[in-house]
């Protein structure tokens, strides 16, 4: 039985490989079977370490085995230190995106559903646009009706002209304030079981769908797409992230599970704030784009190029944060003094006690 209780060379190598994998990524990223194997090998190595220490032989082997067990204990039992403040919030962003993908998908689905509803209503009755779209989006309700009835009015609305920089700056600040207010409202009202957040996100989609249906009455609405896509990509992404944060809070309030509702909301606060914090710079980019790109004489190709660049950057950023979510920096340099090279005298995996 003593020979079977010892650690084989294959088990020792597997133990070190699992520890290396833990230190390259979060331990929670390990498959369940590997995690169970790590715990089993940790206990076997602890048993061997106690047996070697009781005999007081093979000092180098004891030091090596002690360092391995210390690394395993750190990975399995020692919680990671979490800095506070903005640093903690910034580090929470990758994990927040990884853990909240389901509410992000739900927020996008609500927006898409609203787009379909708004487009269908205006396609069925063009004058329903007055009840669905705020007149301020194009100057007045009368102008909205003109856009519905006249192709020339739509072409005039999308006409490109150079505007003064001061006017663009003022317009951009107003857009940023308005969009931030919408995003914060979608986030904060999530505490009301998420119901207002759902309504706001669907309504945003209805406005977008109804407004787009006006210009899709033309056979080739390329100018409209070039008008809306450059600022629409970051703006809709930011608003949807805020809505996802609100849905996260709403889920904690409405469906806390076995936890107390207060604890569920407290656990949801950090990832929700991380999503909102990510949305703020996107809102700024959207405001600058809408004021300096949309209100300019840039060509259609340049506008589509800007929109495509935003899509590529958002995709690359999402892939990057998802990759960061699977990693955890573990500094084990302090173990170097405790972990000398494995003794060369070992010819077999089981070191039988003398």
Q: Which residue has the higher pLDDT, 6 or 291?
A: 291
Instruction: Tell whether 142 and 52 lie within a shared domain.
Output: no
**One domain, residues 135 and 157:** yes
Let me know if residue 345 belongs to a domain. no
Range with lowest mean pLDDT among 88-92, 207-211, 318-322: 88-92
Specify the pLDDT at position 198: 96
Total Cβ atoms within 10 A of residue 146? 17
Residue by residue, DSSP assigns 28-86 as GGS-HHHHHHHHHHHHHHHHHHHHHHHHT--HHHHHHHHHHHHHHHHHHHSPPP---HH
Q: What pLDDT score was predicted for residue 345?
A: 42
d(C-alpha 100, C-alpha 103), whole Å: 6
| Domain co-membership, 131 together with 33 | no
Domain count, the chain: 2
User: Does a structural domain hold residue 348?
Assistant: no
The pLDDT confidence band at residue 350, using thresholds 50, 70 and 90, is very low
Q: Both 44 and 162 in a single domain? A: no
Burial class (CB in 10 A: 0-12, 13-18, 19+), 123: middle
Q: Are residues 48 and 32 in the same domain?
A: yes
pLDDT in tens, 6-32: 678 888 888 888 888 887 766 666 777
Residue 350 lies in a domain: no
Interatomic CA distance for residues 271 and 104, integer angstroms: 12
pLDDT classification of 352: cutoffs 50, 70, 90: very low
Question: Do 129 and 59 share a structural domain?
Answer: no
Query: What is residue 51's predicted lDDT score, i.e. its pLDDT?
Result: 85
Q: With pLDDT > 70 as the criterion, what percentage of the chain qualifies?
A: 84
* pLDDT score for 106: 96
Mean pLDDT of 136-153: 84
Q: Is the pLDDT assigned to residue 305 strictly greater than 90?
A: yes
Give the C-alpha separation, 256 to 253, whole Å. Answer: 6
Comparing 41-45, 227-231, 309-313, which segment has the lowest mean pLDDT? 41-45
| 353 assigned to some structural domain | no
pLDDT band at 210 (very low <50, low <70, confident <90, very high): very high
Give the Cα separation of 293 and 280 in Å (integer): 19
Do 146 and 230 lie in one domain? The reply is yes
List pLDDT tens digits, range 216-254: 988 888 999 999 999 999 999 999 999 999 999 999 999
Q: Are residues 69 and 148 in the same domain?
A: no
The verdict on 174 and 37 lying in the same domain is no
Q: Give me the pLDDT at residue 348, please.
A: 38
Structure confidence by residue, pLDDT tens digits, 178-208:
999 999 999 999 999 999 999 999 999 999 9
Give the pLDDT of residue 75: 80
Report the half-sphere exposure of 270 (CA within 13 A, side-chain side): 20
pLDDT of residue 138: 78
Same domain, 154 and 267: yes
Q: How far is CA 176 from CA 170, 172, 173, 333, in A?
A: 10, 6, 5, 46
Look up residue 8 and give its DSSP letter. P
Same domain? 89 vs 73: no
The phi, psi pair for 160, rounded to 5°, reads -100, 135
Q: Where are the alpha helices (DSSP H) in the chain?
A: 2-5, 9-24, 32-55, 59-77, 85-99, 101-124, 129-132, 141-149, 151-157, 165-188, 195-215, 222-254, 261-289, 300-325
**Nearest CA to 229 among 279, 158, 171?**
158
283 and 302 in one domain? yes
Residue 343 lies in a domain: no
- Res. 89 pLDDT band, cuts 50 70 90: low
Model confidence at 130, pLDDT cuts 50, 70, 90, reads: confident
Tell me if 115 sits within 8 A of 212, measured CB to CB.
yes
pLDDT in tens, 250-281: 999 998 888 889 989 998 998 899 899 999 99
Q: Which domain holds residue 204?
A: 85-325
């Amino acid at each position: 039985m003593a020979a079977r209780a010892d650690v084989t060379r294959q088990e020792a190598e597997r133990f070190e490989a699992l520890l290396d994998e833990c230190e390259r990524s979060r331990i929670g990223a390990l498959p369940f079977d590997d995690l169970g194997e790590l715990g089993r090998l940790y206990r076997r190595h602890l048993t061997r370490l106690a047996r070697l220490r009781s005999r007081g032989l093979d000092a180098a082997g004891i030091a090596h085995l002690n360092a391995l067990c210390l690394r395993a204990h750190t990975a399995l039992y020692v919680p990671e230190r979490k800095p506070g403040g903005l640093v903690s919030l910034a580090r929470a962003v990758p994990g927040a995106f990884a853990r909240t993908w389901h509410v992000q998908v739900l927020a996008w689905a609500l927006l898409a559903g609203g787009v379909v509803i708004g487009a269908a209503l205006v396609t069925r009755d063009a004058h329903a646009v007055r009840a669905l779209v705020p007149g301020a989006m194009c100057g007045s309700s009368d102008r909205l009706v003109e856009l519905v009835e006249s192709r020339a009015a739509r072409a005039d609305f999308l006409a490109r002209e150079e505007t003064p920089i001061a006017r663009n700056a003022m317009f951009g600040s107003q857009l940023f304030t308005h969009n931030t207010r919408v995003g914060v409202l979608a986030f904060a009202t999530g505490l009301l079981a998420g119901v207002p957040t759902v309504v706001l996100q669907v309504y945003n989609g209805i406005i977008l769908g109804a407004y787009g249906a006006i210009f899709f009455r033309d056979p080739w609405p390329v100018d409209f797409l070039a008008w809306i896509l450059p600022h629409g990509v970051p703006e809709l992404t930011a608003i949807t992230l805020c809505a996802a944060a609100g849905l996260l809070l709403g889920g904690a309030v409405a469906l806390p599970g076995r936890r107390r509702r207060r604890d569920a909301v407290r656990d949801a606060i950090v990832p929700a704030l991380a999503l909102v914090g990510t949305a703020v710079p996107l809102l700024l980019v959207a405001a600058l784009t809408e004021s300096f790109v949309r209100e300019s004489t840039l060509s259609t190709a340049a506008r589509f190029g800007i929109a495509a660049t935003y899509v590529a950057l958002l995709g690359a950023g999402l892939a990057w944060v998802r990759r960061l979510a699977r990693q955890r920096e573990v500094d084990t340099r302090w173990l170097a003094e405790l972990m000398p090279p494995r003794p060369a005298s070992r010819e077999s995996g089981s070191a039988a006690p003398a």
